[in-house]
Structure 1
């Protein structure tokens, strides 16, 4: 007769761990859903499908995976489903869209982990990895799933697949380039021990100046949106990612609002041309802030390591010097007399 296994009991520690995991999944789901509802406020119709120029949930999903690991993917999937359900009755194709929106950040996370990505973004290789693996490569999954499902369901007109695919991909990629660095910067931010009011003056003026210049540039038909780049460079040089990421987010949000209203420099072009201009501007702004911040942070870390090495070398020399000098007044035999 085979032995009968004894029933196992769940310890309070396991219950607490399960409760924390469930709470984390619900938090990820709630944040994803809220970001999705905000993203749906700015929609455009390209290729017969409604897409968003910036889809924040992809950036939030990737950041959550980088913070907490693969265990939060069910929260991402549930959040993606709730976003679709909140905007209309789900169809059979919704499963494919949910799968694509879940697999895309998971694939990006796995690729970033494979190359040793660090969430501090203090190396140029980390910035390049986030751009090319996290945004460009990872979001191919969601765009292919989304546009493929719409094409198979007959929701796209003839010739509408590639415009929809490209708009889907750029919206998700911009979500990673704009939102993920902002969340990574906020997680690593540390307040000074004794901050003075003047310490907040420069970053506040920088953020307000970026918003003001972007508003003015997006309200006139003159093509002067390039005026935001000196402010982005200033933010990256002075405050690295913590300064550049919020400024890039401000630029992106304001220009998206102008483009969807066909205002300012976006007034005299068609929708496709407006989206090309918008995504080119936002991509250049995100790349400028992200990569320049990474370069400056890497140089600062190298300088700090060199200083530490010099201090350690000086300490070694100081400890060895008395041993070579010998007792006071003593000289080597060949130097005596």
Structure 2
């Protein structure tokens, strides 16, 4: 089975086989439904078939598609015209479609015809210019070759209006049903009721004879308000289908002698029918395209709003990271430390778990700066910060620059042994960086660490935790630096 997307990607062999058959059937359908006994064409369908194919495939294999439809057009017309006249009239039809397609290509109109601008360019190119030129040429063929006795201008006008209406109605219809639908309309039971009412009204109009039912005037113009409602609620697809069915049914009413526009001469009846169908197209297809364009713009606006919102969120996230990140070392700053400590304190208190705070001070850092310069001092702080970040083994472990050459570590620790082991590992890792420090008794850059471990309770506070860690840090410095000391919160006044 050929997938729909592949079938409509380019005109393959199956499409090239079906196109002339469909075109041939549309010619026969037009002769059956839309040509009066006096040979007046109300609306001509077949030219829309080739034009829709060219627009749908953007001109791919255009010569082949044109040759196939030209052949089917000639064969379908042989029953109505001599072969030479059928060839000439088919050539006029092909010229009409070719001119319309070329004009649309030059204007840059989208083949979807879902924008009012594109629809306007299509109307000018096809129903107005292309069909008018074809009408002038066809009238000459019918008079000079076919021997028609009707006036030249009348022949040209009937051909022009019939072809123009056919392009205007059936090209958007075929394009709508051969292209993917972006968004299906959301319908309610009132929409279903409106559609049902329109169909019932159409049946009533189609059953009228002479434009009356029991003496009450019932003409196809009664359908116009209902079609407008359908256009607003059901979108381009269903509206184009409804307009096509009503226009074809109106033409068929005339060909069967029902006279939907009253008992008037045939030439006046054809004019009234074409005027009605034109009005039907303007109200139905025009309103549907306007609504489709508004919906497209709304979707584009929503997409831009979402994109801008996402960009704003990303910018805000970057700003939040910048505001909470130390510019020199790239780890969390004092502001982030205060926020994290408050959050971890609340969690530890809620879960009744111990919370560890370790304050770290780089030993003799002022002397290091004096000896090696401030640039080397900055490099040393970055190296210490990177090592501290690497030492954070668990996702809940947190390190921040506390200020100057001081750093802070927050961790959820199960017991005192784990807290001291973590601090000892950090102290050893910093010394293992082997950053030369000529004025240090250890000859390398080292750090002193003070550890406080508290299970938050009513008698404790964040301030007491920080003060306890600070006391422990002071003791580590007093005892020779490059070491870890722990202080008991109960010993801190």
Q: TM-score, normalised by structure 2?
A: 0.56
Computed over aligned residues only, the root mean square deviation of the Cα atoms, in angstroms, reads 2.8
Gap change, CA 1:176 and 1:64, over 3 Å in 2: same
- Quote the offset at 1:40 in angstroms: 0.8
What is the aligned partner in structure 2 of residue 163 from structure 1? 154
The answer to whether the 8 Å contact 2:219/2:261 transfers is no
Q: Deviations over 1:259-293 (max 9, x none)?
A: 23443542321111101110000011112122211
* Structure with more of its chain in strand, by fraction: 2
Alignment of 1:75-224 (within 5 A): 75-87=68-80, 89-90=82-83, 92-153=84-145, 155-157=147-149, 160-190=151-181, 207-218=195-206, 219=208, 220-221=211-212, 222=217, 224=219
Evaluate the alpha carbon distance shift between residue 144 and residue 26 of structure 1 in structure 2; reply closer, same or farther with a 3 A threshold: farther
Match of 1:11 in 2: none
| Residues 191 and 320 of structure 1: CA distance in aligned 2, closer, same or farther (over 3 Å) | closer
Alpha carbons 1:236, 1:244 under 8 Å: kept: yes
Tell me the alpha carbon deviations over residues 182-206 of structure 1, each in whole angstroms, 9 at most, x when there is no partner: 111111255999xxxx979777665
Instruction: Tell me the distance in 2 between the aligned counterparts of 1:149 and 1:267.
Output: 32
Alpha-carbon distance between aligned partners in 2 of 1:167 and 1:60, rounded to the nearest angstrom: 20
> Which residue in 2 is equivalent to 1:55?
44
Rounded to whole Å, the distance in 2 between the matches of 1:85 and 1:208 is: 41
Q: How far apart are the structure 2 equivalents of 1:206 and 1:127?
A: 26
Map of 1:298-309 to 2, 5 A cutoff?
A: 298-309=293-304
Out of 6, 23, 32, the residue aligned to residue 32 of structure 1 is 23
Equivalent residue number for residue 311 of structure 1: 306
Query: Quick one: structure 1 residues 164 and 242, their matched pair in 2 at CA, closer, same or farther if it must change by over 3 Å?
Result: same
Deviation at 1:294, TM superposition (A): 1.5
Q: Cα distance, 1:37 vs. partner?
A: 0.7
Aligned partners of 1:97 and 1:142 also within 8 Å: no
Q: Given the superposition, is the C-alpha separation of residues 319 and 183 from structure 1 closer, same or farther in structure 2, using an over 3 Å criterion? A: same
**Length, aligned pairs only:** 303
The structure number with the bigger radius of gyration is 2
1:314-329 paired onto structure 2 within 5 Å: 314-325=309-320, 326-327=323-324, 329=335
Q: Which structure exhibits the higher relative contact order, with contacts defined as CA atoms closer than 8 Å and separated by 6 or more residues?
A: 1
CA spacing shift, 1:203–1:98, aligned 2, 3 Å: farther
Separation (CA, whole Å) in 2 of partners of 1:67 and 1:177 = 16
Deviation at 1:100, TM superposition (A): 0.2
Q: Distance in 2 between matches of 1:316 and 1:179?
A: 44
Counterpart CA distance in 2 for 1:178 and 1:280 is: 13
Structure with the higher helix share, 1 or 2: 1
Aligned-partner Cα distance in 2 for 1:237–1:106: 33
Q: Partner of 2:56 in structure 1?
A: 67
Change (3 A) 1:51 1:29: farther
Structure 1 pair 141–79 and aligned structure 2 pair: CA distance change class (3 A) = farther
Query: Take 1:174 and 1:255, find their aligned partners in 2: how far apart are those partners?
Result: 13
> CA 1:210/1:316 → structure 2, altered by over 3 Å: closer, same or farther?
same
Q: Is this contact kept in 2: 1:174–1:282, CA < 8 A?
A: yes
1:40 is paired with a residue of what secondary structure? helix
CA–CA separation in structure 2 for the residues paired with 1:199 and 1:127 = 25
**Aligned partners of 1:67, 1:144: CA distance in 2, in Å?**
28
Task: Decide whether the 8 Å contact of 2:36 with 2:254 is kept in 1.
Answer: no
Structure-2 separation of matches of 1:276 and 1:125: 28
Provide closer, same or farther for how the CA distance between residues 248 and 202 of structure 1 changes in structure 2, counting only shifts above 3 A: farther
Consecutive unaligned residues of structure 2, counting only runs of 5 or more, are 1-10, 325-333, 337-493
Q: Residues 30 and 269 (structure 1 numbering): CA distance in 2 closer, same or farther, change over 3 Å?
A: same
The answer (yes or no) to whether the contact 1:101–1:142 under 8 Å persists in 2 is yes
